[in-house]
Structure 1
Amino acid sequence: MSVTAESVDGEQMTATPPAGTGTAEPGGGKPRRRAIVVLAATGLVAFLVDLLTKHLALQTLSDRGPVSLLDGEVYLSLTRNSGAAWSIGADHTWVFPLITIAVIGWIGWMALRLRSVPWAISLGLVLGGALGNLADRIFRAPGHFVGHVVDMISLFDPYGRVWPVFNLADSALVCGVILAVLLELTGRQRDGSRVGTKRAADQAPVEQRERA
């Protein structure tokens, strides 16, 4: 975008604002819309799949022992967890919904500048996982905001003595966080840029940026 001004002797001068300022480029809203749609779709799918698997677990695993899969590498073992992994914080269940609500608010803040599809997938996985376990905390027994989370997947042991029993919401959360770490390590930003590219642009001479 060029800004035209009139000098003292009546001649017109054109000034080009530095890169990264002023009006956004035409079509700049499309990457943002695409990223927001991907975030919402990923979060919704993760939430619904978690909801479905918990429903199936309650229907098929109640009142029965653990089910062995893959020669004992994985077990389906229905448990209800009032705390976090390994039942940490089991006596303070009410804290976890507050933490989850804060995480959802953080995702909303992150989405303000979101234009990266990989970041949208990462945040969507975290959002879907957070909503899945929040729904348990709010709506399941023994009461609102102190509900116990339904877990059903145990690795290498039927009762979670090797690894905590978890659900698909937990899996979505972990995968989303791992993806976010990888994106940070590779310099990918939420706005779709990369750290190395931005540094090179900032160090380029002003004349080159104006010609671009």
Structure 2
Amino acid sequence: MDPDRPDPAGSPSRRRLLLLFALVALAAYVADQLSKWWAVERLQGRPDIAVVGDVLQLHFVRNPGAAFSTGRGLTPVITCVAIVATVVVLVVARRIGTRLWAIALGLLLAGITGNLTDRLLREPGPFRGHVIDMIQLPNWPVFNIADIAINVAAGLIVLQALRGIRLDGTRDGDESPAPEGPEGPEEPGPAVATPTTEPGGTP
């Protein structure tokens, strides 16, 4: 099956795409929340864990800002934006027409809601909660699985845009389908000669 072939709305294929979207979102969201729970239990107040020497370490941070520690001090605003973004993704997802778009929007939803959950439920309070980050690379802000999901989603969305594949699976420049009658597309029939009338004669 072509991953970029559009499926008609309401078809079993379209329902499978929506299921893929939901499963990707759920899997990434659960992975993010479990990693944050583990970080709070095993990293908070303890020395960093070197996974790959100095290249990849686990370092506990409570981040009041947005992805990659940006926007500190704007937590309530970021929380409201995340709520709106969640609703937009859920509405737009109803038009998914390819597997790549299903995966991209599933990861995007997981990333947004993963960090949104922290902002709503964690200290110091609703809409002001700090996001748990724990993945550290050299010369890079500490981040989490939700941040990874958001950036992978952004990459897939850019890829689809560069390939000219719209959300519903159609491509830029596609022509509108031919109009269909009750029994399918209309096709030209055989040419029929039109009788002519000679002067003074009969048709």
* Global fold match (TM > 0.5): yes
Q: Residue 142 of structure 2 aligns with which residue?
A: 165
Seq. identity, %: 39
Q: Residue 193 of structure 1 aligns with which residue?
A: 170
Contact 2:124 2:130 in 1 (8 A): yes
Contact 1:31 1:116 in 2 (8 A): no
Sort the Cα spacing of 1:203 and 1:144 in 2 relative to 1 into closer, same or farther, 3 A: closer
Which consecutive segments of 4 or more residues in structure 1 shift more than 6 A?
none
Q: SS at 1:195's partner residue?
A: coil
Q: Residue 138 of structure 1 aligns with which residue?
A: 120
Contact 1:85 1:164 in 2 (8 A): no
CA offset digits 1:163-197 (Å, max 9, x no partner): 1100000000100111011011111122122225x
**How many angstroms apart in 2 are the aligned matches of 1:110 and 1:98?**
19
Contact 1:116 1:189 in 2 (8 A): no
Q: Residue 39 of structure 2 aligns with which residue?
A: 57
- Tell me, yes or no, if structure 1 residue 36 matches structure 2 residue 18: yes
- Tell me, yes or no, if structure 1 residue 149 matches structure 2 residue 128: no
Bigger share in helix? 1
- Tell me, yes or no, if structure 1 residue 73 matches structure 2 residue 58: no
Structure 1: gaps (5+ residues): 1-23, 157-161
Q: Residue 110 of structure 2 aligns with which residue?
A: 128
Give the length in aligned residue pairs. Answer: 178
> Deviation of residue 202 (structure 1)?
4.3
> Deviation of residue 88 (structure 1)?
3.1
**How many angstroms apart in 1 are the aligned matches of 2:157 and 2:133?**
24
Higher mean Cα deviation, 43-52 or 59-68? 59-68
Q: Residue 20 of structure 1 aligns with which residue?
A: none
Q: Residue 197 of structure 2 aligns with which residue?
A: none
Q: Residue 82 of structure 2 aligns with which residue?
A: 100
> Deviation of residue 71 (structure 1)?
2.1
What RMSD, in angstroms, separates the aligned Cα atoms of the two structures?
2.5
TM-score (norm 1): 0.76
TM-score (norm 2): 0.80
Higher mean Cα deviation, 84-93 or 182-191? 84-93
Contact 2:69 2:142 in 1 (8 A): no
